[in-house]
Amino acid sequence: MTAPLIPATATLLELELISLLAGLIKGLTGFGSALVMAPFFSLLLGPHISIALIILIHTFTSQQGASAWRGQIRWPPVLGLATLAVVFDILGTHVMAEAEADPDTLRRATGALVILLAALHTRGIRWRHNGGAVPTLLAGAICGTFMSMAGLGGPPAVYYFDGLVGNSTRLRAHLLAFFMILFIAITAALAMQGLLTLELCLLALLLVPAFYLGACLGELGFHRLHVDHFKYLIGALLAGSGLIALCA
């Protein structure tokens, strides 16, 4: 992959504003920022560069606020889910390449399933579990498969942790921890494949302050957000991601 030159001022400003909004969403909910960045970054920079850029920005900011949420985490389920998601993403990508599966059909099928998860979440239907081996293996397989099919590993993780922790503060904390591990692992994989360049890293660093500021503002908003509003915001983000995959 050839990294982009640092874009013109007008384009860079657009990227900064998108990063600010994406950070705000992440600060509020613990996930969803990539859903904001992906379509707009793709329009401005192309899909391949935008994916790597999103991963880098999240990796550079993955420790943000960790001192506040680190103590709320049940680490074994988080580590297990993230590891399994990466493994099944690799396996799923390989299987679908070998089978020459239609990517549009897979994306739409994933979108429909994500919309179903959004409906279950919004109606308060939870998958209650204790984070043991069987539920973590099942959820990790679904996360990784959804990632390989449509890049939507987040929604199954939301539903998994929602049934594990039971309140909005700990749900958000577990999502932040999960995506921290996931993005670091994916960044390491990209680096080992030689897909990260100095210019791409510099562009990511230029966008980090806007993303960081948005996340700080979002965190302030989260502490003022009613638990019911948080539930519906999560549901809206899940449904939005499913609709994008279904209709794109």
- The first and second tokens of residue 208, run together, are 């980090």
With contact defined as beta carbons under 8 Å apart, do 90 and 234 qualify? no
pLDDT tens series, the chain, 248 aa? 444 557 778 889 999 999 999 999 999 999 989 888 888 898 888 877 888 899 999 999 998 888 888 889 999 999 999 999 999 988 988 888 888 888 888 888 998 999 999 999 888 888 999 999 999 999 999 999 998 888 888 899 999 999 999 789 999 999 999 999 999 998 998 898 888 889 999 999 999 999 999 999 999 999 898 988 998 999 999 998 889 888 86
User: How many domains does the chain divide into?
Assistant: 1
DSSP labels for 50-69? HHHHHHHHHHHTTTTTHHHH
For residue 77, tell me if it sits in a domain. yes
CA distance 57 to 43: 18
Burial track 150-188 (b if 16+ CB lie within 10 A, e otherwise): bbbbbbbbbbbbbbbbeebbbbbbbbbbbbbbbbbbbbe
Domain that holds residue 52: 9-247
Which residue is listed with tokens 């609709």?
A: 243
For residue 139, tell me if it sits in a domain. yes
Q: Chain-centre distance of CA 21, in angstroms? A: 15
For residue 4, tell me if it sits in a domain. no
For residue 50, tell me if it sits in a domain. yes
Which residue is listed with tokens 């900011």?
A: 61
Among 196, 227, 215, 178, residue whose Cα is nearest residue 37: 215
For residue 178, tell me if it sits in a domain. yes
